[in-house]
Amino acid sequence: MEILRLEAIHRTYRQGEAALDVLRGAEFALMPGEAVALVAPSGAGKSTLLHIAGLLERPDAGEVIVAGRGTSTLSDTERTRLRRDEIGFVYQFHHLLSEFSAVENVMLPQLIAGLDKSEAKKRAEQLLTWLGLPDRGTHRPTELSGGEQQRVAIARAVANAPRILFADEPTGNLDIVTSEQVFEALFKLIKATGLAALVATHNLELAAQMDRRITLRDGMIVEV
C-alpha cells in the first residue's frame, strides 16, 4: 500500500486582486522504498507541493493521506505529531546547528522525541556510517564540506525513522561530483530502509537515476 497519497490538491495564492492557482487538482501516490524525482520549471509549484504533502501547509482543497491516515480533519497538534513520526525534510541549505557536532545534530531530533541519550548516539553514528561519514561524527558543520553537511542533514532528517523523506533541491548548492555522492548516499539509505523519497531537483542526470519522474503541468502532477 502507498505510504503517501495526494487527492485533488488545490492551492491558490492571493495577492490583492490577483489569484495564482499553483495547484489545481494534483494527484499523486508514493510507494514505500520508492525514490521519485520532481522536476519542474522554477515557479511551477514544487516547494508548495512539498510543503503541502509534508503537512507543513494545508491545501485549500483536497486530501493528503499519510500512512493511510487522512489529514484534513486533524488538528494542528495532530498534524505536527504525524509529521514528526512519519516525515523527514531536507532543504537546499543544511540548516545544521553550528555549535553542535555532526553526531549531536543527528541526536537532537531523537532526544526531542524522548529517546535515551545512548540510544540516540548509537543511531546517529550508525546513520552517519551508512551515509559514508564514519569518521566525521565529532566535526562541527563548519569543519565539513558542503556534500558532507548535506549528508549529515539527511541523517538528521531520517533520525526518527520517518517513512517519507521530502527533499527540496538537496544538491542545489553543490557541484556535480558532490551532488552525485550525496544522491548515492541517499539512494543507499532508501534501499536499505524502505524509505520513500520525493526529491525536487533541477539535476536531470540525477532525476534519471531515480525510480520515477514527475512534473507539474498546469497545476497537475504528470508522470514523465
- Residue 15 makes contact with ligand ATP by CB under 6 A: yes
- Residue 201 makes contact with ligand ATP by CB under 6 A: no
Distance CA 11, CA 45 (A): 9
Distance CA 22, CA 45 (A): 6
Mark the segment that binds ligand ATP (CB under 6 A) among 41-49, 104-112, 128-136, 189-197: 41-49
What nine digits make up the cell of 208? 534519471
- Residue 199 makes contact with ligand ATP by CB under 6 A: no
Residues 6, 58 contacting (CB under 8 angstroms): no
- List, as one string, the DSSP characters of 17-49: TEEEEEEEEEEEEE-TT-EEEE---TTSSHHHH
- Residue 42 makes contact with ligand ATP by CB under 6 A: yes
- Residue 44 makes contact with ligand ATP by CB under 6 A: yes
Q: Measuring CA to CA, which residue among 154, 47, 139 is closest to residue 94? A: 154
Residues 22, 9 contacting (CB under 8 angstroms): no
Closest CB 169 distance from ligand ATP, rounded Å: 7
- Residue 43 makes contact with ligand ATP by CB under 6 A: yes
- Residue 98 makes contact with ligand ATP by CB under 6 A: no
Closest CB 40 distance from ligand ATP, rounded Å: 6
Closest CB 42 distance from ligand ATP, rounded Å: 3
Mark the segment that binds ligand ATP (CB under 6 A) among 42-50, 80-88, 144-152, 204-212: 42-50
- Is the Cβ of residue 91 or residue 130 nearer to ligand ATP in the bound state? 91
Letter string b/e over residues 119-136, b meaning 16 or more CB atoms within 10 A of that residue's CB: ebbebbbebbebbbbeeb
- Residue 77 makes contact with ligand ATP by CB under 6 A: no
Size of the site for ligand ATP (CB under 6 A): 12
Distance CA 167, CA 104 (A): 21
- Is the Cβ of residue 43 or residue 194 nearer to ligand ATP in the bound state? 43
Q: Which helix (H) or strand (E) holds 53?
A: helix 46-53
- Residue 48 makes contact with ligand ATP by CB under 6 A: yes
- For ligand ATP, the binding residues (CB under 6 A) are 13, 15, 20, 22, 40, 42-48
